[in-house]
């Protein structure tokens, strides 16, 4: 498994190959489409990420000292954002997750090109994952 930093670098490289933000949004939606299906029965209120305009569910599972996450959203863009975060955080230890730098989000421009509500939702997802 690539390191947390290597995973972030891969994401930055993928987004840097896009010529404009329309392509980047398309890539984000494609990334969201790669999420495995989330069991409908698990879409409960306690798994909802607070502070998101869209509905986002995050389910943690600990195995051998590492956290693995499943997630889903009712919005294509938000689903892509949570898929990016899971790609970075899933399979990591709690310490790795807590201490992870999120500079890659700025490098790919998400902090500038998302609406205020989506940006707040993105950081709510990050906070939820780090708190688990």
For residue 5, CA distances in Å to 40, 73, 83 come to 33, 26, 17
104 in Cβ contact with 6 (< 8 Å): no
Bridge partners (DSSP) of residue 16 are none
Query: Integer distance in angstroms from the first to the last C-alpha of the chain?
Result: 21
**Of how many residues is the chain composed?**
132
Catalytic residue among 52, 105, 110, 122: 52
Known catalytic membership, residue 18 = no
**Which are the catalytic amino acids?**
52
């Amino acid at each position: 498994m690539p390191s947390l930093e290597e995973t972030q670098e891969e994401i930055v490289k993928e987004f840097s190959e896009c010529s404009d933000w329309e392509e980047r949004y398309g890539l984000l939606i494609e990334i969201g489409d790669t999420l495995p299906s989330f069991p409908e029965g698990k879409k409960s209120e306690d798994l909802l990420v607070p502070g998101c305009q869209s509905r986002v569910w995050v389910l943690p599972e600990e195995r051998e000292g590492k956290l693995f996450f499943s997630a889903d959203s009712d919005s294509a863009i938000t689903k892509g954002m949570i898929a990016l975060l899971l790609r970075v955080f899933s399979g990591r230890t709690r310490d790795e997750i807590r201490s992870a730098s999120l500079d890659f989000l700025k490098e790919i421009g998400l902090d500038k090109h998302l609406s205020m509500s989506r940006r707040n939702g993105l950081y709510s997802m990050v906070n939820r994952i780090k708190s688990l």
